[in-house]
Chains A and B, each alone.
Chain A
Amino acid sequence: MGNTITEKILLAHTKLKKICAGQLINARVDIALGNDVTAPIAINEFNKSGGKRVFNKNKVALVLDHFTPNKDINSAQQCKAVREFAMKQKITHFYEGGNVGVEHALLPELGIVLPGDLVIGADSHTCTYGALGAFATGVGSTDLAAAMLTGELWFKVPSSIKFIISGALKKWVSGKDLILHIIGRIGVDGALYKAMEFTGETVSRLSMADRLSMANMAIEAGAKNGIFAPDKITREYIRKKAKRDYKFFYSDTDAVYSDIIEIDAAKIEPQVAFPHLPSNVKGVSKAGRVKIDQSLIGSCTNGRIEDLRIAARILKNRKAATGVRLIIVPATPGIYQAALKEGLIEIFMKAGAIISPPSCGACLGGHMGILAAGEKAIATTNRNFVGRMGHPQSEVYLANPAVAAASAVLGRIASPEEL
């Protein structure tokens, strides 16, 4: 009986000889991540338990990206606490100020997370790194404290659902639409406690940006992790980024899956998730007339240069409709610079957009893009829960960057084909 890629990566981080789904294990952690919201609690727990040094200063990443640039005094205090800890512990991967990016865009871009790694992060979207063929999962602050102290953490080995995706993608359809479609099909707890393994000929052609968007939203189906087998696209992506060893793992042909789901990608049009669950999806042609007050293009789901290029294609020589606040958030300083160089920022500004510094702020209703009661936003982010981006009576609609850009121009949820 063979193993899945998820099982094999977990096994490689233990002293065990074999592994199976459902088993409780202690495993070594390659990277432990925290941010300005979750790290303060972890640091407190670390200190309370008498922690002196982190297990390895090169394997902890602390990224101040949520309420930054500091929103208020409280958030400044939280950032200060993390900064002091990072300095004292001489943490190699500490990012703030002009170096900070949205953590799940930043870590892959800098080659901090690599194929075959076991990554834990006190942030639910840590599952993003599965795109590289790593096992990556979101945990809580106490878990982060334990991992920083011991370099290990307990896991229950998840069973896996295999998604076989085939067919050519229609125009304007991206990884975001595939994952929204899948969540719509299986529900927000359709992969609860499980691994989502994405395979098939469509997947083998998907860019790394699309894979990162898909793995990013595995948590929105309740999954422990999302994962892609590494291939030549992975190799090309990490070629210049990797500064340490990494390993490619693959599922055995006789690996055991709890379920196998086939997806015909050719039938999917751009998707929109209506309030208030990411599973509440419709094709954009069936969205009806939904007037919007804000369009947000950014986040750990869709704030990469590829996403900004798509938005720019649509926004070039066009303007956001009167009354629509178009906010564009390049996810990292590297992406921001590339967008400047390629002339995208100029296109956005001519379209009337606000260019935000890299930050998670608007996506989670923290700051820099909050909605008032009754307002509606289309966003390339990952969650549309009640009050997610502001007032509990505001609404968030999730979509890909092309749809978000077209909607900004037309002032209502719209397909790029309508322009």
Chain B
Amino acid sequence: MIFKGRVWKFGDNIDTDAIIPARYLTTSDPQKLATHCMEDADPNFVSKMKQGDILLGGENFGCGSSREHAPIAIKAAGVSCVIAKSFARIFYRNSFNMGLPIFESRELVDAIEEGEEILVDSARGTITIARSNKTFKINPTPPFMEELIADGGLMKHIARKREKNEK
């Protein structure tokens, strides 16, 4: 997969309350959640970003609650993928399970300024900054996680496995 977009940079320990505050969890409608994406980290994020833009985080992105509403809000807002130095584990699981592409690269996050354009090539495992043409390696994704993404998420992966067993 290839993703091209402008980056929006956030700091370390961006928690799920910042990504989608609990006051909006009385719904699980992706479009409604999307309108509040990142609201308590940057209230203007949704109005500033364009479809396909890329979210950048520091260490421990997505820490806190298990709410799948967080990756749902990010995806539904039109963010194409998230790159962080590291991810909190439930957010990491949720993203693969529901099909939000996420990548780890400490080097890129340190090297890039907000607003720059990047190109992510997940098959080659590289991220390139458009302006400087500098390329960074993505930390390898475990093969099982790649399988999940290829199958279209956890439920589809399970359905495929069940089909295989029945044959």
| Binary per-residue interface labels of chain A (173-194) against chain B in the complex, 1 for a CB within 8 Å, 0 otherwise | 0000000000000001100110
Interface code A92-126, partner B: CB below 8 Å = 1, 0 otherwise? 00000000000000000000000000000111101
Neighbouring B residues of A66 by C-beta, 8 Å:
25
- Residue on A nearest B97 in the bound complex, by CB: A142
Question: B71: nearest residue on chain A (CB-CB)?
Answer: A140
Contacting pair B97 A385 (CB below 8 A): no
In the complex, A40→B98 CA distance in Å? 15
Q: Give the interface size bracket for A toward B.
A: 35 or more
Contact B64 A385 (CB under 8 A): yes
* Residue among A121, A122, A142 facing the most chain B CB atoms (10 A cut-off): A142
A383–B28 CB distance below 8 A = no
Which residues A377-419 have CB closer than 8 A to chain B?
A: 383, 385-388, 392
Residues of chain B at interface, number, CB under 8 A: 40
A146 to B90, CA, bound (A): 15
**Is B23 part of the contact surface with A, judged by Cβ < 8 Å?**
yes
CA distance A156 to B141 in the complex (A): 13
Residues of A within 8 A of B27 (CB): 74, 78
A9 at the interface (CB under 8 A from B): no
Residue of B nearest to A74 (CB): B26
User: Please, which residues of chain A bring their CB within 8 A of the CB of B154?
Assistant: 142-143, 145-146
Structural contact, B86 and A192, CB atoms closer than 8 A = yes
Can you name the residue of chain B whose Cβ is closest to the Cβ of A24?
A: B144
| Contact yes or no, A139 B26, CB < 8 A | no
Question: Which of these, B40, B65, B156, contacts A386 with CB under 8 Å?
Answer: B40
**A188 CA to B21 CA, complexed, in Å:** 19
Q: Are B94 and A142 in contact (CB under 8 A)?
A: yes
Residues A75 and B66 in contact, CB atoms below 8 Å apart: no
Tell me whether A124 and B68 are in contact in the complex, defined as CB-CB below 8 angstroms, given that A189-B13, A189-B88, A192-B86 are known contacts: no
Evaluate contact between B63 and A392: CB separation under 8 angstroms: no
- CB of A314 within 8 Å of the partner chain: no
Whether B18 sits at the interface, judged by CB under 8 Å, is: yes
**Complex CA distance for A40 and B25, rounded to whole angstroms:** 11
A50 / chain B contacts, CB cutoff of 8 Å: 159
B89 in contact (CB, < 8 A):
yes
Tell me the nearest residue of chain B to A383, going by C-beta.
Answer: B64
Of A41-49, A208-216, A258-266, A340-348, the stretch lying at the interface with chain B is: A41-49
Interface: B53 (CB within 8 A): no
In the assembled complex, which residues on chain A have CB atoms less than 8 Å from the CB atom of B90? 124, 138-140, 219
* CB atoms of B18 and A385 under 8 A apart: yes
A160 to chain B, nearest CB (A): 14
What residues on A are CB-neighbors of B68 within 8 Å? 38, 41, 122, 140-142
Q: Are A140 and B23 in contact (CB under 8 A)?
A: no
B residues within 8 A CB of A224?
89
Chain B residues with CB under 8 Å of A75's CB are: 26
B121: Cβ under 8 A from any A Cβ: no
Could you list some 23 contacts between A and B, CB below 8 A?
A38-B68, A40-B28, A49-B158, A50-B159, A78-B28, A121-B66, A122-B66, A124-B66, A140-B93, A140-B98, A142-B97, A142-B155, A143-B93, A146-B97, A146-B154, A156-B142, A189-B59, A189-B63, A222-B88, A364-B22, A365-B21, A385-B18, A386-B17
Which 8 pairs show the lowest CB-CB distances between chains A and B?
A74-B26, A140-B94, A142-B97, A189-B60, A140-B68, A364-B22, A124-B66, A387-B40
